């Protein structure tokens, strides 16, 4: 049985109109799915309004206690419940979850050396409760997972949403034929960042290295692609990066949109 693990990026969440269209599309998918969502700009805005200084190291944010509080409020509270209520409106019986809920994702706090990123969690799919997620799916409940996990010892942890999507995809592969799809505001992985139609249709691991070396694939796309390859090497059948507006057509009609990631071509 097919199961889609769908990650939706921050830029779609930031636009009320785009998000509404996306949720409407989700309600028309013909195969079951689990949605994983990131944060968008609201957490940063909120931290700024509350005068919580954002510490950065090597371009990455440090999650101190106050930043974690804001992330928990925004991701697990406002964004998660807004998405759940929007899906309910469209007839999808969504259930919002952090990693602490039903112990779905027990993460481990990242080591403080060499860099102390604070309350950040790393996920291993061996610690994802896939049986509980399966029970929800059997009850026709659609899990909507935010990027907050816990360590099982009372500590909430900020966790990368791309990684959560990939790890859930691996975890569910023992019972389902899993497709992992990263939806964002571009038409796929682009050869030229300024040209929307320069989508690379397919990328394998050796091409990925070439693109990284030549600077075509860089910044946040590198860890995203690492997650893609990890998923493919751990049981996931298909991985794709595409524009949020292409999702419905791709899943319902198997359209060849976006960039397909493969282990080897």
Bind-site residues for substrate: 39-40, 61, 158
Rounded to whole angstroms, the Cα distance separating 20 from 27 reads 11
Task: Find the part of the chain contacting its own copies (CB under 8 A) among 10-18, 92-100, 119-127, 246-254.
Answer: 92-100
**Which of 63, 80, 167, 227 touches its own copies (CB under 8 A)?**
80
Q: Contact letters (x/-) for its own copies, 100-119, by CB under 8 A?
A: xxxx----------------
The phi, psi pair for 139, rounded to 5°, reads: -90, 10
What distance in Å separates the CA atoms of residue 100 and residue 145, rounded to the nearest whole number? Answer: 11
135 binds its own copies (CB under 8 A): yes
Binding status of residue 21 toward its own copies by CB under 8 A: no
Measured from the CB atom, the residue of 168 and 203 that comes closer to its own copies is 168
Neighbours of 216 (CB within 10 A): 18
Question: Which of these ranges, 98-106, 158-166, 174-182, 222-230, lies near its own copies under the rule CB under 8 A?
Answer: 98-106
> Measured between alpha carbons, how far is residue 120 from residues 110, 159, 201 in Å?
6, 6, 33
CA dist 176 and 198 (Å) reads: 33
Taking the complex as a whole, the smallest distance from the CB of residue 167 to its own copies amounts, in Å, to 19
Least distance between its own copies and beta carbon 144 (Å): 8
Least gap, CB of 248 to its own copies (angstroms):
19
Give CA–CA dist 118/106, Å, rounded: 17
Site string for its own copies, 29-58 (x = CB under 8 A): -----------------x--xx--------
Region near its own copies per CB under 8 A, out of 29-37, 90-98, 208-216, 250-258 = 90-98
Residue 123: alpha-carbon gap to chain centroid: 13
- Tell me the helices (H) and strands (E) count for the chain, helix number first: 10, 14
The tally of CA atoms less than 13 A away on the side-chain side of residue 79 is 32
């Amino acid at each position: 049985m097919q199961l889609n693990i769908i990650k939706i990026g921050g830029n779609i969440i930031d636009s009320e109109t785009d998000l509404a269209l996306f949720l409407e599309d989700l309600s028309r998918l013909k195969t079951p799915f689990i949605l994983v969502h990131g944060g968008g700009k609201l957490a940063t805005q909120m931290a700024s309004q509350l005068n919580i200084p954002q510490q950065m190291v090597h371009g990455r944010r440090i999650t101190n206690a106050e930043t974690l509080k804001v992330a928990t409020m925004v991701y697990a509270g406002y964004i998660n419940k807004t998405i759940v209520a929007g899906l309910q409106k469209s007839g999808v019986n969504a259930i919002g979850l952090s990693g602490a809920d039903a112990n779905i994702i027990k993460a481990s706090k990242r080591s403080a050396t060499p860099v102390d990123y604070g309350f950040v969690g790393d996920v291993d799919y061996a610690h994802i409760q896939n049986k509980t997620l399966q029970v929800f799916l059997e009850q026709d409940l659609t899990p909507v997972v935010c990027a907050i996990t816990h360590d099982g010892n009372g500590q909430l942890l900020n966790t990368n949403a791309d990684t959560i999507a990939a790890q859930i995809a691996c975890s569910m592969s023992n019972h389902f034929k899993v497709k992992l799809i990263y939806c964002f505001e571009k038409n796929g992985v682009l050869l030229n960042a300024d040209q929307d139609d320069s989508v690379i249709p397919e990328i394998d691991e050796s091409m990925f290295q070439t693109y990284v070396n030549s600077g075509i694939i860089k910044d946040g796309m590198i860890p995203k692609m690492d997650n893609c390859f990890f998923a493919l090497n751990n049981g996931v059948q298909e991985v794709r990066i595409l524009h949020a507006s292409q999702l419905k057509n791709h899943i319902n009609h198997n359209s060849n949109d976006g960039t397909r990631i493969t282990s080897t071509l």
